Chain A
Amino acid sequence: MSAALRHHLGWLPQGVVLGLLAFAIFGPLLNMLLWAVAEQWYFPHKLPLEYGFSFWQRVFRPRGNAMVSLGNSIAIALFTVAVCLAVAIPAGYALARRSLPLRGLILLAFLLPQAFPSLAVYINVARIFYGLGLNGTIAGVVLVHTMHGLVFAVWIATAAFAAVDRELEEAARNIGASPLQAFRAVTLPLAAPGIMASAIFVFLESLDEFTGTYFVGVPDVTTLPLLLFTASMEGNYQIASITALILLVPSVGFMLFIERFLKADVLAKVGS
């Protein structure tokens, strides 16, 4: 093969591999989109026989199962973010800025849940909650999601506070601000983008959480992931695909914009 020809064909293997990868990544997504707008689709037809939105009307019917689940999911995620931030902001500030005994150990302790398969812990949380009357309540699900989101909230908040320039705080103190005033006027606003990122992350984790809700939420609290699961197991692929699409939009959006929320200076401080 001449050098010129090789140069012209050099892109071919790369192109084929990228094409295969694109099919592997977007194929399943495209299949779901087709199911979401399929009115009728059965074997051996390779494409839906009829397209339409009648299943969308069923999903978005006011007071239908899906709307209740969507409301539950959003309420639970917002409460989870509120609880996580309420405990993670003071903890992150103390871990990043103040002298604290056993600081490294405490930071590591928040990583502990990541080292154990969570399902085996959730079944026991559900058993304990059952005794407390928390099973099947929104509060119970919020607590489980809070535990799950806490590691991200604490670690990102700590990194966000660590990335704030100490000299700005000291300048505020020098002109007579109390520690609390300096925190509210200088440190917190400067750390806000990082904390916002952790809030979005906790929100998404809660929105997507399945296993904990499966054990603690039953039978009264249904969230979107549980609705999707039930619809899929019943073979109702249209409902399952539409629900999957609702969950997909915020996930993909976050993936596309994560770098705008989580700046490199904060990322560099994670775990330091």
Chain B
Amino acid sequence: MTQSRLISLALVAPALAILLALFVYPLGFSLVTAFEGEGGAWTVGNFTKAFDFYWRDIGFTVLIVGLSTVLIGGFAIAIGGFLTLGENPRAVAALRWLYRWPLFIPFVVAGQLMRTFLAKNGMMNNALVELGLLAPLQAQSYLDWRGIVVTFVWKQTPFVALLVAGAMAALDRATIEAARNLGAGRLRVLLEIVLPQVRQTLIVGLILSFVIMMSVLSVPLMINAQSPTMLTVDMAFRINAYGDYGVANALGFISYLMTGVVAWIYLRQGVREGGA
């Protein structure tokens, strides 16, 4: 190896060292601990215990994060599509200004906002009652699985919409104009011409959001303290209440598998399309 390349490696080395020490090593630690019994022998006991105690929470987590991802995707396409194909410049400008506000708001703040907004006598119900759309006695709290989904969608949609709108803005306008001139409606142009070209960006944004939502502890703790709850809450509980790293890491392994499956579906589709 030449001296120049050695210098290059030396320049990258400190950053790589941090990655190895603070991510790769603890990740390996978590994988080993998940399969380790009390005496240090290999076992799947942690997993049987994790499934026995938390099978409902595993399903609950898949449903909440899955539903949130689908809704985020739908809203992001709608926002990006309106920004790209909207014909009223004032409405487009208003939406462009409006949709990005929650972009960098931390999850813990979003959790606090929704905790008060979606409560039984929170602002949402109050507004609906004032408008006459809801009888005061029918008001109910949304601080359960619905509250988690609303908070996730509220917080993550701007991120995916920003990526999607950026990709849409970079598209060649000629095909869009041609389709419009031939009489295609805007919805059809969006779904059949624009969307297929930005699919890659959309899916990358959605996978990143999926992983992020799988890691959030504050929102499920603040919005939905009762059972069933999300796996992050269970992991924190196993450690804080019992110091039980075995089951906590088994649950962690299950959450790696969930994100792994999502990434695998994406990669497999990419290969299939690349081969076609």
Does B239 count as interface, using CB distance less than 8 angstroms?
A: yes
Instruction: Check A121/B30 contact, CB under 8 A, given A11-B88, A98-B7, A128-B25.
Output: yes
Which parts of B3-43 form the interface with A (CB within 8 Å)?
4-5, 7-9, 11-12, 14-16, 18-19, 22-27, 29-30, 33
Q: Mark A23-34, 1 if CB is under 8 A from B, else 0.
A: 111111111101
B2 CB to nearest chain A CB (Å): 8
Residue B101 CB within 8 A of the other chain: yes
In the complex, which residues 56-113 of chain B have their Cβ closer than 8 Å to any Cβ of chain A?
Answer: 88, 91, 94-95, 98-113
On whether A118 and B215 interact (CB within 8 A), knowing A18-B95, A87-B15, A112-B19, the answer reads: yes
Q: Which residues of A contact B112 (CB under 8 A)?
A: 32, 228, 232, 237, 240-241, 244
- Contact present for B113 and A244 (CB under 8 Å): yes
Task: Out of B98, B130, B249, name the residue touching A123 (CB < 8 Å).
Answer: B249
* A67 on the B face (CB < 8 A): no
Which of A86, A101, A128, A240 has its CB near the most chain B CB atoms (within 10 A)? A240
Residues of A within 8 A of B218 (CB): 210-211, 225, 229
Q: Does the CB pair B22–A147 fall under 8 Å?
A: yes
A125 to B211, CA, bound (A): 19
B30→A214 contact, CB < 8 A: no
B16, B99, B109, B221: residue with the most chain A Cβ atoms closer than 10 Å: B109
List of B residues within 8 angstroms of A121 by Cβ? 23, 26-27, 30, 252
A77 to chain B, nearest CB (A): 13
Is A99 among interface residues, defined by CB-CB distance under 8 A?
Answer: yes
Are B98 and A21 closer than 8 Å at their CB atoms? Answer: yes
Inter-chain contact A120/B108, CB cutoff 8 Å? no
Residue of B nearest to A112 (CB): B23
Q: Is the CB of B217 within 8 A of A101?
A: no
Say yes or no: B109 contacts A154, CB within 8 Å.
no
Q: Is the CB of B215 within 8 A of A117?
A: yes
Interface residue tally of chain A, by bracket?
A: 35 or more
- A115-149: CB near B (< 8 Å → 1, else 0) gives 11111111111011000000000000001101100
Check A70 for interface membership: any CB of B closer than 8 A.
Answer: no
Is A120 touching B252 in the complex (CB atoms < 8 A)?
A: yes
User: Which residues of B have CB within 8 Å of A30?
Assistant: 123
Determine if B53 is an interface residue (Cβ-Cβ < 8 Å): no
The CA-CA distance from A14 to B22 in the complex, in Å, is: 49
Minimum Cβ distance to chain B for residue A180 (Å): 11
Main secondary structure, interface of B, reads: helix
Query: Is residue B154 contacting chain A, with contact meaning CB distance below 8 A?
Result: yes
Shortest CB distance A84–B (Å): 9
CB distance A143 to B22 under 8 Å?
yes
Whether B117 and A31, one on each chain, are in contact in the complex, defined by CB atoms closer than 8 angstroms, is yes
Q: Confirm or deny: A57 has a beta carbon within 8 angstroms of a beta carbon on chain B.
A: no
Please choose the segment from B44-52, B178-186, B190-198, B255-263 that sits at the chain A interface, where 4 or more of its residues have CB less than 8 A away. B255-263
Q: Is the CB of B256 within 8 A of A120?
A: yes
Q: Which residue of A lies closest to B24 (CB)?
A: A112
Q: A-facing mask of B235-276, CB < 8 A → 1, else 0? A: 110010000010011011101100100010000000000000
A195 nearest CB across to chain B (Å): 14
Q: Which residues of A contact B236 (CB under 8 A)?
A: 119, 123, 214-215
7 residue pairs, one from A and one from B, having the closest CB atoms: A120-B252, A208-B106, A28-B113, A94-B11, A90-B11, A147-B22, A91-B15
A contact residues vs B (CB 8 Å cutoff): 11, 14-15, 18, 21-32, 34-35, 43-44, 46, 86-88, 90-91, 93-95, 98-101, 106, 109-110, 112-125, 127-128, 143-144, 146-147, 150, 154, 204, 208-211, 214-215, 225, 228-229, 232-233, 237, 240-241, 244, 247-248, 251-252, 254-255
- 15 new A-B pairs (CB below 8 Å) besides A93-B11, A112-B23, A251-B103? A11-B91, A18-B91, A27-B123, A91-B12, A98-B7, A110-B19, A115-B259, A120-B235, A121-B23, A127-B29, A204-B104, A208-B106, A214-B236, A232-B222, A241-B116
List 5 interface pairs A-B (beta carbons < 8 Å), by A numbering: A211-B217, A215-B236, A225-B109, A229-B108, A229-B218
